[in-house]
Structure 1
Amino acid sequence: MKYGVTLPLSGIDGDLERLVEYARIAEEAGWDGVFLEDYMVYWGEHNVTYDPWLTLAAIALRTQNVQLGITVTPLPSRLPWKLAREAITLDHLSHGRLIIGFGLGDAQDRHFGEVADEKQRGAMLDEGLEILAGLMSGQPYSYQGTYYTVNDVTFNPQPVQRPRIPIWIGGWWPRKAPALRAARWDGFCPAKVPDAQGDGSIKPHDIQAIHNFVSAHRTSDTPFDLVAAGNSAADDRARARAQIEPFESAGATWWVEFILPGPNESEQAFTRIKQGPPSLE
């Protein structure tokens, strides 16, 4: 299992340079991945928001080994060819350490007259994913869809990673459409529809169910990542192991912890990152 942290898109106490520095500290502390979310207006009291692609570019230049990712970009709200160019550039800056994640996007982040219908956004997402993969091939590429058209273009250079940058899909479980979509790509970052008591946390039995579902619908034997997210008992290794081991046994390949904005954010984030990942070794 690999371990990652998701840093707040609002920076650390609103400070972008400190966020980049904390990403460097995360690598130093042994974390395997540093992730950012992608919002036009980040949630929080002050709505402070930085661009995740430019921020990851800065992080790529300050780190050497840690994997970098975005979980997830609302592809129907972006131009797929612009995202392809940005992702390829970032893959080169990071020397092949990038993971890109895509989904429909959150309704509360649609401020600019975007398409609201979920089925239409799903169709746009699928078309956009095909275009991304095609443009990352380094070969002449054309596409004619319902929402997008690409006329005979070749994107060079290709990504460092071959045949392309890994693509993860985000979406709600137990809704089946996001998991089916993920099965066609390289990974799944599930969120859980809250139950009747309002509990929306992913449990090991959810990961097991997702693992079984994706395995039944996958047609490729290439590696597939399944992400479990939560917060571990970082000050108690035994409790952390007891918490996370069932997720790994159920099929999770990543455990990702959120560093959230809030009171004493800088101190708490620094302490948690420096504690390092809750490794099972």
Structure 2
Amino acid sequence: MKFGIAIPNCHGDYADIHLVTQVAHEAEEAGWDGFFLWDHIGDKWGDEVGDPWVMLAAMAMRTQQIKLGTMVTPVTRRRPWKLAREVATLDHLSNGRIILGVGSGGGIEYVNYHEAADSKTYGERLDEALEILTLLWSGEHISYEGQYYQLDNVRHLPRPVQLPHVPIWVGGVWPNKKPMRRAARWDGVVPIGKALSFTQQMTPEQVGECFRYVRSQQSEERQAQPYATVQWGQLEGKDRGYDAALVSAYEEVGTNWWIENITWERGSLQEIRAFIQQGPPIR
């Protein structure tokens, strides 16, 4: 089991790049395996928003081993070729430690900025964008003719450090099946329970059902490759034995990454630092 931290890039001191960078350093020192940021641009949860890509660059300079990335990026709100450059550059800056969490997104961050906001096309656009990302990361000259994106004889160098491509983890709401079928084609799945609040999490039974479905949608070749099965969870942080037992229950149903879901509802980032400094409950 590996353990990560995920925090918002918005709302109060969660948008403070200096504090976030310091906390990422402290998380690595405490033994966490990953540190991830939400990816919002104009937020309904507060006026303070930090750019996650600039934050990740700063975090990469203050850490040495911990995995870094977004959890998750609404890819259809971004130009895939620009995102491909950003992620590849970060992968070099971090010496191959970037994970790209992706989702279809939606809501005010599309509507208020007059982005295309047809929810029926989000998944289709995301699928095309993910294909473009991996084609661009190949380092070859490529052309692409899709329904939503077109490219003519372009080449992106340097390639990412991680080959054949930066790991892509797909987020989605369970029990919706379509995002889970998409996740089965990539490098990891990050399910979120339907209608759960920021302080709730899926049960081990629900998580196990989701992972079994994802696996049933994978080819034998994909099943034989490393794959991240993520629990978006919350530890109590008071009783280490209780937390270790909770993690073990999720590990038994196939979880191999525990991502600690931290938001302002659990306190400010300053207030939550002591919890992060404790490190994960199992090493």
Band the TM-score falls in, shorter-chain normalisation: over 0.9
> Partner residue of 1:213?
213
Please report the RMSD computed on the Cα atoms of aligned residues, expressed in angstroms.
1.9
Residue aligning to 2:243: 240
Report whether the alignment pairs 1:265 with 2:246: no
Question: Which residue matches 1:28?
Answer: 29
Cα drift, residue 192 of structure 1: 1.1
Tell me what 2:116 maps to: 115
- The answer (yes or no) to whether the contact 1:173–1:193 under 8 Å persists in 2 is yes
Q: Structure 2-normalised TM-score?
A: 0.93
Asked whether the equivalents of residues 179 and 188 of structure 1 are also in contact (C-alpha less than 8 Å), the reply is yes
How many residues get paired?
278
Render the CA deviation track for 1:27-67: whole Å, top value 9, x for unaligned.
001000000010112343x3210110111000001100000
In the TM superposition, what are the counterparts of 1:121-132 in structure 2 within 5 Å? 121-132=122-133
Distance in 2, Cα, partners of 1:263 & 1:239: 19
Indicate if the aligned counterparts of 1:194 and 1:201 stay in contact, CA closer than 8 A. Answer: no
Structure 2 gap ranges (5+): none
Matching residue of 1:98: 98
Q: Deviations over 1:250-275 (max 9, x none)?
A: 11111111232258524422111111
- Mapped partners of 1:55, 1:160: distance in 2: 20
Structure 1 residue matching 2:211: 3-state secondary structure = helix
Q: Is the 8 A contact 1:72 1:100 kept in 2?
A: yes
- Cα distance, 1:98 vs structure 2: 0.2
Unaligned runs of 5+ residues in structure 1 are: none
- For residues 78 and 264 of structure 1, the distance between their equivalents in structure 2, rounded to whole angstroms, comes to 30
Would the alpha carbon gap of residues 13 and 217 (structure 1) be closer, same or farther in structure 2, given more than 3 Å must change?
Answer: closer
Change (3 A) 1:200 1:114: farther
- CA 1:14 to 1:147, structure 2 compared with 1: closer, same or farther past 3 Å? closer
Say yes or no: does 1:52 pair with 2:31: no
Stretch of structure 1 that moved more, 220-229 or 30-39: 220-229
Map of 2:5 onto structure 1: 5
- Structure 2 CA distance for partners of 1:262 and 1:205, relative to 1, 3 Å: closer
Q: Which residue of 2 aligns with 1:276?
A: 279
1:76–1:104 CA contact under 8 A, matched in 2: yes
SS at match of 2:36: strand
> In the aligned structure 1, how far is the partner of 2:198 from the partner of 2:36?
26
Asked if structure 2 preserves the Cα contact closer than 8 Å seen for 1:9 and 1:42, the reply is no
Q: Percent identity?
A: 41
CA distance in 1, matches of 2:70, 2:40: 11
Q: Distance in 1 between matches of 2:267 and 2:232?
A: 22
Decide which of 204, 227, 230 is 1:227's aligned counterpart: 230
**Structure 1 Cα separation of the partners of residues 44 and 4 of structure 2:** 21
Amino acid at match of 2:256: T
**CA–CA distance in structure 1, aligned partners of residues 274 and 141 of structure 2:** 49
